[in-house]
Amino acid sequence: MPTQKRTHPTGAPAPPRRRMSPEDRKEAIVSAAVELFAESGFDGSTRDVARGAGITQPLLYRYFPSKESLIEAVYARVFLKSWEPEWDEILQDRAVPVRDRFQQFYTAYTEAIFQPVWMRLWHFASLRDAEVYGWYREVVQEQILKPLVRERRIELGRNSGFQVTPAELEAPWLLHGGLLNYGLRQQVSGPAAPGDRAAMIDQALEMYMLFTASQAADDTSEDPS
Amino acid sequence: MPTQKRTHPTGAPAPPRRRMSPEDRKEAIVSAAVELFAESGFDGSTRDVARGAGITQPLLYRYFPSKESLIEAVYARVFLKSWEPEWDEILQDRAVPVRDRFQQFYTAYTEAIFQPVWMRLWHFASLRDAEVYGWYREVVQEQILKPLVRERRIELGRNSGFQVTPAELEAPWLLHGGLLNYGLRQQVSGPAAPGDRAAMIDQALEMYMLFTASQAADDTSEDPS
DNA sequence: TTTCTTATTTATCGCACGATAAATGTCTGG
DNA sequence: CCAGACATTTATCGTGCGATAAATAAGAAA
């Protein structure tokens, strides 16, 4: 049937060729790529990405010179966009106790990243190139863990003015890593009840508070000024 | 040069065709697959596996009917083999304090799994199919975390005879997950000093001891019998 | 040595992928 | 309404992959 063009395999007429602004089209492609790569990893084919975006595969190469550059666009979309500026405000509000502050922050933060798309893309990316993991490590350490150590110091009245030491970061890293791992675990065996995440965050902070209080007590008993 | 056969690209004569016992050959193939898949993921090609094993690619299909079955053999080799029976003995030796017991166990355990091959393969496998992760989850919970909770209960004199509850497992999971995450982090930014791992384990156990002791105190003050 | 088994190699198929070139059709400015 | 710009599609190339069939040769048994 040589005259029958632009019909879907179902027999329904295919959507007519729609011209879209380059910005919107690029946006649509990245969205489709995020979905596919989160599910199949970065070995998902450009043809499937194109299908998800409702276009043909070669058109993709008008917007991205290579598959690698598309992957970088996915990185930027998912990872760079993931830090909400309002979180900084929560962490710095000294009118609120440290524990409540971080409880509030971690509730919002885990809500954002404990999602299949974020977690799976993050793991795929970390396995592909170590740079992504190193970048995430830096963000967590500077934006979350160091503030936590500093604010807790002040609360305990031992703001020695020193910089945060690597040793001081170990305990926060342990708990942050534990929460991350909880997110991964939850994702595989189906999302747990909503209250469980809050309980997990609560326990993590409880442990940190107990640990730091205990350490402060040890120091003053060993070194009575 | 039609008569020149079996020569390496370098010009050196290729190793002569060696007949090997099926067991040894299979073993060699799995070893090569472990190495390649740990580095490139399970999309590493069967041709590269064969090259690593020093054979041609079609021979691989005499030992494994498909690539998928080779992957399963890799699973079995790396994950099933990874639990040492002597670890159970360490965990059950009540002559030693709980904390020392688990310190010793985690030192050996992390030594075994904090290695690129294990960690990368585990991540690749978890992303491929959720079954692997579910299986690992089960092993950790039954073999490590439940024993930890039980033994700690006894040590605190509150062996209520109840089964270990999901709520009781949250704290150990948090710390175990934190250690796992530490292993991942260490692997990316180069291995840390040997002492650091021990320090991390020590802190994790310290936190658990403090937390459980604190909870026990709360319970007895709220519910004085 | 000769024969038989089977481990191993050579040759090849079909397919899906990333990427490119050329043809086609849609929107916009005059 | 017409013409140019360019978004989009069709057609296609080269490559690497998983897998199969047939040819070859190494070692064991007689």
- Whether A129 and A175 share a structural domain: yes
- Whether B87 and B108 share a structural domain: yes
Q: How confident is the model at residue B16 (pLDDT cuts 50, 70, 90)?
A: low
Q: How confident is the model at residue A184 (pLDDT cuts 50, 70, 90)?
A: very high
Closest residue of chain B to A131, computed from CA coordinates: B188
Determine if residue B37 is left, alpha or beta; phi over 0 gives left, psi from -120 to 50 gives alpha, anything else beta.
alpha
What pLDDT, on a 0 to 100 scale, did the predictor assign at position B18?
Answer: 78
- Whether B157 and B207 share a structural domain: yes
> B46: Cβ under 7 Å from strand D?
yes
Instruction: Indicate whether B225 pLDDT > 70.
Output: no
Segment A61-115, tens digit of pLDDT: 999 999 999 999 999 999 988 899 999 999 999 999 999 999 999 999 999 999 9
Residue A8 in domain: no
Six-digit token pair at B77?
């080799």
Identity of the residue in B120, B137, B171 whose CB atom sits nearest the CB atom of A185: B137
Residue B97 in domain: yes
For the segment B170-189, the average pLDDT, to the nearest whole number, is 93
- Whether A39 and A147 share a structural domain: no
Instruction: Indicate whether B6 pLDDT > 60.
Output: no
- What are the DSSP E strand ranges found in chain A? none
Residue B2 in domain: no
Residues of chain A in contact with residue B134, where contact means CB-CB under 8 angstroms, are: 188-189
Measured at the CA of A80, the angle between CA A76 and CA A81, to 5 degrees, comes to 105
Closest to B140 measured CA to CA, from A191, A184, A211: A184
Tell me if residue B165 falls in helix, strand or coil: coil
Query: Which of A28-42, A145-159, B65-79 bottoms out in mean pLDDT, i.e. has the lowest?
Result: A145-159
For the segment B98-115, the average pLDDT, to the nearest whole number, is 97
Expressed in percent and rounded to 5, the helix, strand and coil fractions of chain B are 75, 0, 25
What pLDDT, on a 0 to 100 scale, did the predictor assign at position A189?
Answer: 74
For the segment B183-203, the average pLDDT, to the nearest whole number, is 85
% of chain A surpassing 70 pLDDT: 88
* Domains identified in chain A, total number: 2
Mutate to test the interface with A, among B42, B67, B133, B181 (most CBs of A within 10 A): B181
Instruction: Decide if A124 contacts B124 (C-beta within 8 A).
Output: no
- Whether B156 and B208 share a structural domain: yes
- Whether B185 and B88 share a structural domain: yes
B52 CA, D26 C1': Å apart:
22
Average pLDDT, chain A: 89
- Whether A47 and A127 share a structural domain: no
Residue A27 in domain: yes
What pLDDT, on a 0 to 100 scale, did the predictor assign at position B217?
Answer: 85
What pLDDT, on a 0 to 100 scale, did the predictor assign at position A15?
Answer: 61
* More confident site: B159 or A122: A122
Residues 6 or more apart whose Cβ sits within 8 Å of residue B42: B71, B124, B125, B128
> Do the chains contact at A203 and B211, CB–CB below 8 Å?
yes
Domain of residue A99, residue span: 82-216
Residue A225 in domain: no
Instruction: Indicate whether A202 pLDDT > 50.
Output: yes
Residue B115 in domain: yes
Q: How confident is the model at residue A49 (pLDDT cuts 50, 70, 90)?
A: very high
For the segment B61-76, the average pLDDT, to the nearest whole number, is 98
Average pLDDT, chain B: 89
Closest residue of chain B to A199, computed from CA coordinates: B170
- Whether B198 and B125 share a structural domain: yes
The chain A residues in contact with chain B (CB within 8 A) are: 41, 43, 120, 123-124, 126-127, 130, 133-134, 137, 167, 170-171, 173-182, 184-185, 188-189, 196, 199-200, 203-204, 206-208, 210-211, 214
Beta bridge partners of B7: B13
A61 CA, C29 C1': Å apart:
28
* More confident site: B193 or B3: B193
Instruction: Give the other-Cβ count within 10 Å of B54's Cβ.
Output: 13
- Whether A88 and A72 share a structural domain: no
CATH number reported for the structural domain that contains residue A40 in this entry: 1.10.10.60
Q: Within 13 A of A127's CA, how many CA atoms are on the CB side?
A: 28
Give dist(CA A53, CA B218) in Å, integer: 56
Give dist(CA B196, CA B186) in Å, integer: 10
What pLDDT, on a 0 to 100 scale, did the predictor assign at position A222?
Answer: 65
Residue A15 in domain: no
Tell me if residue B13 falls in helix, strand or coil: strand
For the segment B128-155, the average pLDDT, to the nearest whole number, is 94
Segment A6-36, tens digit of pLDDT: 444 444 455 666 789 999 999 999 999 999 9
